[in-house]
Structure 1
Amino acid sequence: MVKEQNTEDRIVDAAKKVFINKGMDGARMQEIANEAGINKALLHYYFRTKNKLFEKVFSLVFGDVLHVIEQAVTKETDFEQFLENFIRQYIRLLKNKPFIPQFVIHELNRKPERIVAQIQSKNVIKEQMFSIIERAVEKKEIRQIQPVHLVTNILALCIFPFVAKPMVKGLALDDDEKKYKQYINERPDEVVAFVKQAVLLR
């Protein structure tokens, strides 16, 4: 059982790499088998089709994103708690799994309805994130702003340094990996401070 689980994990990890580099349409099962260090017949034993394997990878990757949102927001969470929790947890996730933004962007371009359906199934953005922002506006804790603008601003501030790593590192950080890592370590504090400065009324 443990051996089977290890094999499946290797397949999923290999599939992530291939899907990220090639996308769903460009990926080939033989490439995934080669990356996992197994033969194609064994790959098909675990996942009969490329689509089933992609569904598995997608559910795991996007599940990580939704988990961060769910952890950051509850009905009792106030705005500043939400801001701190979400930004810090989301950037931590991207540090540990930097492939996520590219993977999600690939899928947004290929099949956007899949991501919309995943988000709607959890109701965490409109029913929880938006409501926290709306309450903060009503209480005059933050300036008047539409939740969709604030949420997309926060996401952009978190995601861009990972999506544009070659540009950020090459143009602003002397193409130095150590400087880039230090920059990423500084991002949570910088993003939290920037958003607070932009919207808090006190």
Structure 2
Amino acid sequence: MDKVKTENTELEILEAAKDVFQQKGMDGARMQEIADKANINKALLHYYYRSKQLLFEAVFKSAFSLLAPQLNKVLNDDSALFEKIENFTANYVSFVIKHPYLPNFVIQELTRNPEFVQTLRAQPNFPSMEKFSNQVSESIAKGEIREIEAEQLLINILSLNIFPFIGQPLLMALINVDKEKYSKILLDRKTEVSSFIINSIKI
């Protein structure tokens, strides 16, 4: 029971910290506030995480571990290139609708502390570009797609999928829609993005 209680307490801390970090960022968050939200005392919080930086890194790694499999699917699964683009777009949009805090949280904190990406790169689940690059080269050689750098294609895929979520308030104002209409637009992105990208590269 002690082990279960320990695991539950740690999960409650991470969930509370996620909410506070999401609202206030690393600099604005306070350990006392996180402890209060997790319904524990500050001493117990420090028993699990000696500093706010260590707690933040645990929350960030947890958040990135949710995103990493989505990136690995587009980079490393065995599906054909066009199918891979279609699957990634559909899965990513569905995934972020369920976890709306993730894109802003990850991008905000990588901007604040870009060196932290080196810590992420050391994780075993960090995505690798090698297989995707080879697949793009093979598709070009077969005459299936136009000449394009794999890095540029990946940036296009990620940008078109991510920005509608991190730029939501601005985009809602620019196109003058409410949240209900914008939610419909996001769902339509499941097919709109993949169609746009595929049509831009196929021969």
Answering whether residue 157 of structure 2 is matched by residue 172 of structure 1, we say no
Amino acid at match of 1:140: G
For residues 45 and 200 of structure 1, the distance between their equivalents in structure 2, rounded to whole angstroms, comes to 55
Query: Is there any run of 5+ residues in structure 2 with no aligned partner, and where?
Result: none
Within a 5 Å distance, the mapping from 1:48-87 to structure 2 comes to 48-74=50-76, 76-87=78-89
Structure 1 position 163, deviation (Å) = 0.6
Q: Higher relative contact order at CA 8 Å, sep ≥6: structure 1 or structure 2?
A: 2
Amino acid at match of 1:64: L
Answering whether residue 137 of structure 2 is matched by residue 126 of structure 1, we say no
1:68-104 CA deviation, whole Å, 9 max, x = no partner?
Answer: 1223443633211221222222222211111112112
Conservation of the 8 A alpha-carbon contact between 1:16 and 1:57:
yes
| Cα separation, partners in 2 of 1:75 and 1:166, compared to 1, 3 Å | closer
For residues 116 and 133 of structure 1, the distance between their equivalents in structure 2, rounded to whole angstroms, comes to 26
**Counterpart position of 2:151:** 148
**Counterpart position of 1:190:** 192
Partner-residue secondary structure (3-state), 1:131: helix
For residues 122 and 134 of structure 2, the distance between their equivalents in structure 1, rounded to whole angstroms, comes to 15
Match 1:23 to one of 22, 25, 34: 25
Q: What is the RMSD of the two structures over their aligned residues, measured on CA atoms?
A: 2.1
Amino acid at match of 2:152: H
TM-score (norm 1): 0.88
Query: Is there any run of 5+ residues in structure 1 with no aligned partner, and where?
Result: none
Structure 1 position 119, deviation (Å) = 4.1
Structure 1 position 116, deviation (Å) = 4.5
Identity rate of aligned residues, in percent? Answer: 40
**Counterpart position of 1:163:** 166
For residues 4 and 68 of structure 1, the distance between their equivalents in structure 2, rounded to whole angstroms, comes to 30
For residues 24 and 143 of structure 2, the distance between their equivalents in structure 1, rounded to whole angstroms, comes to 47
Structure 1 position 173, deviation (Å) = 4.3
| Cα separation, partners in 2 of 1:156 and 1:73, compared to 1, 3 Å | closer
Structure 1 position 57, deviation (Å) = 0.8
Conservation of the 8 A alpha-carbon contact between 1:14 and 1:35:
yes
Comparing 89-98 with 148-157, greater Cα deviation is found at 89-98
